Structure 1
């Protein structure tokens, strides 16, 4: 795991180029504390800060292929590098390292962009073609690793500057670059709960969508999709027993690939089914006792420590946990927002920020987690809710009430006393209002409320509607498959894998790997879901696949979504940055914000007992607070939010400078002091 950054800049003085790329990398050094290096050639610069995980000795970057034509800066891991290396050797390719980075590079030299569908990994990389002058950026098929870009820089058009980086904060080192929040993108993000696949909250900054690559050629930027979601696979043709074995074997192979590492691999153990399965398989496949890590809360409504300890004891893992209190969330919220770089609708990413720091302090650099299981195996109550609403008019009142009761047993407002009110709400949403978004319409009501924080919000769902309308085959999907598509395209990459996942892990140099997001696992889930999941039992095939290996209590337990305390934390502890919301002067600094609505919301939150704050109000408040903090850190011209995150001066281990040289490749120059592989 690493961080990458770079630019194509006709405007930048050649003498300033090394300083600028080094400064960009220094701003993301937390992602790769082990090594750093950069490449310079004819107005192009790109570099890597490296977290050494595979081939600690010879995997330094930037790296060239044997012909010196292709140069790569790589962020991520290629899990099937062993198999691809064998195939490439059979085609006559010769390797100088054991690294997966070189496999990616040689595959690109062999097949070009045709290599991308062959990759099973979590990655974002840049490749420079020194012959054609082209620059390529690519991102993995599920959006596990980010790459952002801007074609603004200090100019626009064909003579403008093109910037890219694993984190947007790197752009602040480029001369003339300014961050500006985009009210239209904020409205969409508030409504949908996350930026759309190619969007960010800032003007002139985009992200490369999942399963895509981008080509920068002669001042033009072209985007190409190389992988689509595979959630409409043909139904599994075998028996239920064969389906169980198929799913288990596919998951086992996925975990085995993700245990490939030259450093120890741990597991995040939440106590739920998904992380327990990953822990069970890692325990089976690892030659040593597996170390597991978790978060505990002092509030029973959020705490899963009992289940965590039952699973850890049953599987014999070496378990470690941290206790997170409300005061910890309040104290670390700005730091977590600084790394997330987007507004958030809940605080659950802050405990993950603290957990990854704990894991780093324990000496672990790679962690496995259960993300993607609910999307692939229809684990969310959202999917059962979609089935219930789609069948609403065919059900009796008793069946409707019983169905509502089964949706969220963990939430008090879904209890018997509220079911009559909920029945009326479901009645309203039993017919599609937003074309193609039937499954998410109830959820998006909370987002619609949050979008009221902005003065000119237009239709906050317009861009999402345009995305689904332009996606081939989307209209033909079933309501549940549409729900699955929306989860895979929005909340999974935009929040769970990023704000709550990768960005919190890499804040402390921890690489997160997701066995459920293996293409073979996602395809297997799609095929068995169609045959064996009628919504009556949550993840029935998964449970059966690991019956006898996990505690029976873990298999019988209903899903408890990972949550953390919300607005109440900031009421109780009143951190100093709350002044951003309590001051009308500060609120008016945020472009597009409606300060009148914002002040009314804050006043209501502060005056209402915590148990009386509605879900939509809590969500809108967290959005407002995180946006205010983000504005101060990035767009406000002040650095208070970066306290505790000083950018160390970057001393590159490897510099490759090809400017003015088209002869044999110059030797890479090592500069001491950056700390080599450890």
Structure 2
């Protein structure tokens, strides 16, 4: 992992170097800079593969400059393919990217398998690429100069003033994180997964180079063939992510995903040190016992990390600073503490199980949505529509049925938090019903224009783009890189994901079992006890901590000064959260309040 940073246009060298310094945590092993008139092109390196200084970046070749963040898992194969076209001086992935670009132009990105944020300058044309599934971030600011960076914090020195982007606020309230291209900082944008940007003659153009929906549907219709194909691809995905010239560890929960990753690693001859989180005095959130059983079954050494309330509170502000902007995921804090421990133990690479639930339908609510969706076939439903409109409820179940009877889009990501009606009751501004659909309109249009017709594919598609890429993966990238650790996610391999989009969708849900296909894959490798465990997720006692520490009062304090929300609505949410309801809504308001206090008040 590393950081990319650059300026095309006028710049102050002192400001540029100070901004680059804000990214040192992403690449503490080396800092490289190319400085010219109207060009500052830089790289912070975290050495993982070919740690020799000859692979330091930026790399240059003729009129090309490269600053690259990530891992290209098939770079050796590409190197062999390109060896007759390019004289290689290193064993680095960066040289392979340059050679691939020289051979295939911007289409080179289609040959890469991995996670990456790439900045490639060819003479006066700059290209920025974000990987297919959004594992690595890339932000940019286009003003008097064009500036790009791996994290927002490096762009802040170039803002004339900090203003909150309203689209970021509204999409954050709806979907837990700002939807691309928006960020909370007005004028700072981000690339979406599978997009690339061209900057030439002071003009910006953004295009999409990859779409999971391009996978041909129903290529595989038999369950046995699906299991065989996916098992081989998942094993391959794990195996290629085991390559590193530095120590590697793995996360281990009590569930299937992390256990299977470790089982496949063992099959490949690698036993990884594993880590599990636990919470003192909160057994209902604690997975240590389940993880211990999984570790004993697998024969791996597992390290338990216990978190206390004081640990959580002490790490709260540091973690939120690390994120740069509001992100509604309370798991960020314990994960920050976990990576802090992993770094202390000397590891620089960690395997994690993100993406499994979205690909294999691991959330129970996917099945609930499919059931509710079937109500669209009812011929006589006007009275039901009238009933729901006459009996408003803040509960999301009410919203689901209303949408079905209103003939509007039902599923809008697993991470949907505030509905438009809830936002209208909360904000001191009018929010029309279904206003948030504009933030997912382009995704829905791509789905409707594709060959895919099964709504479960839509569930996976929008969740991979928003719930995963902008929510979970943003969290994972920032908190791991805060400790100079590279996170690898085998389930989010684009070949595996594309294969899943090519099977008959009914194979994922027709038996009514969550992760049915994955459980079939895992059966020869994991015990029945592991396979049958009830899903806990990465839950933690964040609201209990927030209430008991009185940190929750910040929401009232900030709202009194900013006046963004209606006071009675804020009070209702806080009271509900204290009783265990609407907890993620309130956490989102808290995180937002922290940001507003820091940047706007």
Same fold flag (TM > 0.5): yes
Contact map agreement 1:27 1:170 (CA 8 A) in 2: yes
Distance 2:414 2:342 in 1: 38
Which of residues 218, 221, 234 in structure 2 aligns to 1:235?
218
CA shift in 2, pair 1:512/1:448, >3 Å: farther
2:278 aligned with 1:296: yes
Query: Aligned to 2:132, what secondary structure does the other structure show?
Result: coil
Distance 2:566 2:396 in 1: 35
Could you tell me which residue of structure 1 aligns to residue 468 of structure 2? 492
1:102-181 pair list within 5 angstroms = 102-130=95-123, 133-152=124-143, 160-174=144-158, 177-181=160-164
Which of residues 504, 517, 520 in structure 1 aligns to 2:479?
504
Which of residues 547, 550, 557 in structure 1 aligns to 2:523?
547
Which of residues 25, 31, 35 in structure 2 aligns to 1:36?
31
Query: Aligned to 1:458, what secondary structure does the other structure show?
Result: coil
Could you tell me which residue of structure 1 aligns to residue 390 of structure 2? none
User: Which 4+ stretches in 1 moved above 4 angstroms?
Assistant: 392-395, 421-424, 439-448, 450-453
Could you tell me which residue of structure 1 aligns to residue 501 of structure 2? 526
Q: Using CA pairs below 8 Å that are at least 6 residues apart, which structure has the higher relative contact order?
A: 1
CA shift in 2, pair 1:47/1:239, >3 Å: same
Distance 1:389 1:202 in 2: 38
2:427 aligned with 1:454: yes
Query: Aligned to 2:564, what secondary structure does the other structure show?
Result: coil
Could you tell me which residue of structure 1 aligns to residue 489 of structure 2? 514
Could you tell me which residue of structure 1 aligns to residue 342 of structure 2? 359
Segments of structure 2 that go 5 or more residues without pairing to the other structure are 379-393
Could you tell me which residue of structure 1 aligns to residue 385 of structure 2? none
Distance 1:340 1:82 in 2: 34
Contact map agreement 1:251 1:515 (CA 8 A) in 2: yes
Contact map agreement 1:389 1:429 (CA 8 A) in 2: no
CA shift in 2, pair 1:457/1:110, >3 Å: farther
TM-score by length of 1: 0.80
Contact map agreement 1:183 1:454 (CA 8 A) in 2: no
Could you tell me which residue of structure 1 aligns to residue 186 of structure 2? 203
Which of residues 581, 589, 613 in structure 1 aligns to 2:555?
581
CA shift in 2, pair 1:432/1:4, >3 Å: farther
1:216-615 pair list within 5 angstroms = 216-230=199-213, 233-237=216-220, 239-287=222-270, 289-298=271-280, 299-392=282-375, 425=398, 428-429=401-402, 431=404, 433=406, 435-438=408-411, 440=413, 443-444=416-417, 449=422, 452-456=425-429, 458-459=431-432, 460-468=435-443, 470-471=445-446, 473-474=448-449, 477-499=453-475, 501-528=476-503, 530=505, 532-533=507-508, 534-575=510-551, 580-583=554-557, 586-587=558-559, 589-590=561-562, 593-594=564-565, 596-597=567-568, 600-601=571-572, 604-605=574-575, 610=578, 612-615=579-582
Distance 1:467 1:423 in 2: 24
Query: Aligned to 1:471, what secondary structure does the other structure show?
Result: helix
CA shift in 2, pair 1:248/1:208, >3 Å: same
Query: Aligned to 2:284, what secondary structure does the other structure show?
Result: coil
Distance 1:225 1:504 in 2: 28
TM-score by length of 2: 0.90
1:81-96 pair list within 5 angstroms = 81-90=75-84, 92-96=85-89
Contact map agreement 1:70 1:109 (CA 8 A) in 2: no
Shift of 1:173: 3.1
Aligned length: 580
Shift of 1:609: 8.1
Contact map agreement 1:187 1:454 (CA 8 A) in 2: no
Query: Aligned to 1:223, what secondary structure does the other structure show?
Result: strand
Q: Which moved more, 1:625-634 or 1:48-57?
A: 625-634
Q: Deviations over 1:472-520 (max 9, x none)?
A: 6357632212212210121111111112x11111111111111111111
